[in-house]
Amino acid sequence: MTRKRCYLYNFPRLKGEPRIKEPSILYAVPDEKKWDCEFVFDGEPRADGDLYLCSVFTCGYPDFLEFSKKIGAERIIAGGYHPSLRPEDFAGSAAKTVVGFGNNIDEIIKSGRRGAIRGKFRYNHMDRSVFPLHELKEAWYAEIFPRQKSLSISAFMGCPFPCDFSDNCYNFSTYGSRKIFYPLSYIKEELKLLGRYRYDYLFIRDEGFFLHPQFRELVKLLSGTGKRIYSFLGPLGGLTESAMKFLKDSNWFCLTFGFNIREGYAEDRELLRVAGLAHKYGINAHLNIIVKGAEDRTSTYYLDTVARLLFKYLPESMELYFWTPYPGTASFAQYRDKLTMEKYRLLNDLNFKSDSLPLRNLHKKALLSLQINYYKSREYAKIRNFSCGDSLNLQINELISPARK
């Protein structure tokens, strides 16, 4: 039997940093006996497809609409965050729109139904064979992993945090209160599948990992891979000193500390306690800071707050970017619904309040300057560990050059 051709896309185009996150339809690869599947890394339309599976983030929605006009809606099934939360946006641009997880993708393809279809969550394993693994990085940690490959797993379905600014809003609203944990048997099988590939780091991509009822058994299982492990921080209650030592003894490489900087930000003593334990036991701290940009002089408040955080937490690496609202949140209704389609792209990672290009560029340079000053500081030099793979401070001259232009 001749197999049909299925192309998989992500919008926005994944460029050099693929970020595959639930409920991405890209986890739902059709039956290989019937479909010849290929992930299109460059995002360019392929005209010979019988089916196009498209995972769409909000900032990639305009690009998806252009793609749909070229390919035709009849061959497109859309899924992901934006389709799950606003399926009405895809009427006329996709034959079928998967709401939530599409682990039953073969049923969806066969179904004669059109329009919005609620997908099903199952303990399916992600078929990574269709992705260009020589280019795939499953998180935004390129600076601390130069020329290294990281693959990922999940141990928890849902999200314990009701963030108004984050793309976890679908997971939280649908699964957050139920807390579905992947069984150890599933994770063992997932690790076997990962063993087919050469990779250096193992990323735990969910924020409920530390809530897992078999936490210690799970950590020992992951440690058995021999890979360096990094993860989000998650809830702090169980992160005692003995727990942090246990993580270090189990190949834990990095913990990500997340911040949402808004007016009236208050210092978190519990977070500082955990950061101190991470430094004590030699686990790298990565700061993920979302800055709510402002269009007037109060911008200095946010930038000053970020600067203080860097020198209090002393991270080995960081990512700093501007807050942006997602569908399903109050912020989206307040801001994005009032913007024209042409302005959607402004909302990707810049100060969404401002249409002024000079002002947005000023914010970018100010944020870049914070990074440069921190990486050149004496405080950072004291914690500098070249074995951790963070080469960002070796690129300071490259960072400074574009900032001066």
The predicted model gives 49-73 an average pLDDT of 91
Position 274 pLDDT exceeds 90:
yes
- Per the domain annotation, does 129 fall within a domain? no
Q: Could you tell me if residue 351 is inside a domain?
A: yes
217 and 331, same structural domain? Answer: yes
User: Are 105 and 39 part of one and the same domain?
Assistant: yes
pLDDT over 90 for what percent of the chain?
30
The answer to whether residue 124 is domain-embedded is no
The answer to whether residues 174 and 79 belong to one domain is no
**Which residue did the predictor score with more confidence, 240 or 24?**
240
Would you list the DSSP string of 259-327? EEE-TT----HHHHHHHHHHHHTTPEEEEEEEE---SSTTHHHHHHHHHHHHHHH--SEEEEEE----T
CB < 8 Å & 24+ apart, contacts of 277-281: 277/239, 277/241, 277/244, 278/244, 279/314, 279/383, 280/241, 280/244, 281/244, 281/245, 281/247, 281/248
- 195 and 107 fall within a common domain: no
Of the listed ranges 217-221, 356-360, 395-399, the least confidently predicted one is: 395-399
Last residue of a domain, one of 86, 118, 150: 118
Residue 21 located in a structural domain: yes
Least confident segment among 178-187, 248-257, 297-306: 297-306
Residues 195 and 335 reside in one and the same domain: yes
Rounded to the nearest 10°, the torsion over CA 153, 159, 164, 167 is: 30
Is the domain of 274 the same as that of 377? yes
Read off the pLDDT of each residue in 343-364 and give the average, rounded to a whole number: 63
Residue 363 maps to a domain: yes
In a domain, 125, yes or no: no
Q: Chain-wide mean pLDDT for the chain?
A: 80
Mean pLDDT of the region 134-160: 67
Rounded CA separation 237/249 (Å): 20
> Which of 44-53, 270-279, 339-348 is predicted least confidently?
339-348
pLDDT, residue 196, reads: 87
- If one counts the domains in the chain, the total is 2
Does the residue 127 lie in any domain? Answer: no
User: Of how many residues is the chain composed?
Assistant: 405
The whole-number pLDDT of residue 350 equals 43
CATH number, position 395: 3.20.20.70
Give the range among 28-37, 299-308, 383-392 with minimum mean pLDDT: 383-392
pLDDT higher than 60, residue 405: no
List the structure tokens of 146.
């130069």
Same domain, 214 and 87: no
Residues 290 and 340 in one domain: yes
Domain boundary among 83, 118, 153: 118
Residues 6+ positions from 184 with CB-CB distance below 8 Å = 214, 217, 218, 221
pLDDT of residue 115: 95
Considering the domain architecture, whether residues 66 and 21 belong to the same structural domain is answered as: yes
More confident site: 19 or 7: 7
The pLDDT tens digits of the residues spanning 314-329 come to 998 887 776 667 777 7
Among 88, 118, 148, the domain boundary falls at: 118
Mean pLDDT of 76-100: 92
Look up the domain containing 318 and give its range: 137-404
252: pLDDT strictly greater than 90: yes
For residue 203, pLDDT beyond 70: yes
Is 336 found in the same domain as 268? yes
The tokens describing 23, both together, are 């409920």
pLDDT over 50 (residue 369): yes
Residue 375, strand partner residues: none
Lowest mean per-residue pLDDT among 113-122, 152-161, 317-326 = 317-326
What pLDDT score does 153 carry? 87
How does pLDDT run across 22-51, given as a tens digit for each residue?
545 656 788 888 999 988 878 889 999 999
pLDDT of residue 144: 56
358 band by pLDDT with thresholds 50, 70 and 90: confident
Phi-psi region of 43 (alpha: psi -120 to 50; beta: other; left: phi over 0): left
Do 72 and 17 fall within a single domain?
Answer: yes
How confident is the model over 343-347, as a mean pLDDT? 63
Does the residue 126 lie in any domain? no
Q: Are residues 195 and 273 in the same domain?
A: yes
CA-closest candidate to residue 362, choices 354, 154, 145: 354
